[in-house]
Amino acid sequence: MGQQSQRRSFVTAAEVAKRAGVSRSAVSRAFTPGASVSLETRERIVRAADHLGYRVNRLAQSLTNAHSNVIGLVGTDLQQPFHAAFLTTLSAALLADGYQCMLLNAANAEQDMSALIARVLEYRVFAIVVMTGTPPARVVEECLTNGVPVILVNKLLPGIAVDTVVADHASGGRIAAERLLAAGCRRLAVVSGAARTASLVGRLEAFRAAAVAGAGAPVRVWENGPTDYRSGWDAARALLAEEDYDGVFCVTDLLALGFLDAARSLFDRQVPADLSVIGFDDIPQAGWSAYRLTTFRQPVAKLTAAVMDMLRHRAQHAAPSHVLRTVPIQLVVRSTLRGLPARGAA
């Protein structure tokens, strides 16, 4: 007999009703919060369900409701340390609040998430959280038309009434420039990737503006490749062969780690004696002894709390809140910035 024919189907509510000696509708009410059923009947149904190994079919339940308790999580580059940490924390918080998570990896659909988000809508999700990547405005509007709120994290869609949570990227760029100038750096560069997302552009432009305002210092801008370790290595190999830069802001930690390794191994640059480097994200690797990178921490717990507050508001109120919430970042001073002792978050 094949494996498929040996597989037993799930226990049904009808089987529970038969064993408990009640109607099928009584079983449904027993597992629906707030539904009317006597205590004695509920206990009899629960005992029968436990004996048979019955579990409520939440997908079937959602067919009779306008929405399910499923939250669609959409993102790209989920393998990157910061995104992975945020996904871990957010999914745990959702489960603790009684939600189910549907994860869609948009790595192969970064240019257009339309098909993925359309698929999420088929499950009558309660809300969609876009963690990374930017969905087309028309798709977001379709979600809102169907009564599905959309929460954007670290991205902006001007003119679209959605809840948005962003870290204070501009503050990070500004402080990075101020700290490098205070350390005596005057040959400045900023390293980013080719993807001009709102968060990366916000960090870069704020850095450049603060450098010019603070000391009239010109800033060499590098924007090539993905925001990963290899691109940081390539940036150092090109920039340090071009000029003796002494202060560099990398808009992600992965870029900074690659930049540091190339600067040391290819050019024998001493960090921070003749080269200061600041990153952004405070991924676990930034604290490794090989790097001790000065960086900015995006507080994952606060980003998650902001998303959960928005979901709870929607659960209690029919109308969306349309809130833009900015979460402060923290400077973590370690060993790659000249003139300042390592001292943790500031």
Identify how many contiguous H helices and E strands the chain contains and give both numbers.
13, 13
3-state helix, strand, coil in the chain (%, to 5): 45, 15, 40
Please tell me the class of the 169-298+331-345 domain: alpha beta
Considering the domain 70-167+300-328, what is its CATH architecture? 3-Layer(aba) Sandwich (3.40)
Average pLDDT for 322-328: 90
Model confidence band, residue 328 (pLDDT cutoffs 50, 70, 90): very high
91-144 residue pLDDT tens: 999 999 989 888 887 766 545 567 777 777 767 788 889 887 777 777 788 788
Question: Rounded to the nearest 5°, which phi and psi values hold at 330?
Answer: -125, 135
Model confidence band, residue 9 (pLDDT cutoffs 50, 70, 90): low
According to DSSP, residue 139 is labeled: H
Average pLDDT for 190-211: 93
Two domains, one topology: 3-56 and 169-298+331-345: no
pLDDT at residue 340, rounded to an integer: 65
Angle at 37 between CA 36 and CA 41, to 5 degrees: 175
pLDDT at residue 320, rounded to an integer: 61
Q: What does the radius of gyration of the chain's CA atoms come to, in whole angstroms? A: 26
Mean of pLDDT over the chain = 86
| Superfamily the domain 3-56 falls into | lambda repressor-like DNA-binding domains (1.10.260.40)
59-102 residue pLDDT tens: 555 545 555 788 988 887 788 899 899 999 999 999 999 898 88
Higher pLDDT, 233 or 162: 233
| Domain assignments of the chain as residue spans, ordered by start | 3-56, 70-167+300-328, 169-298+331-345
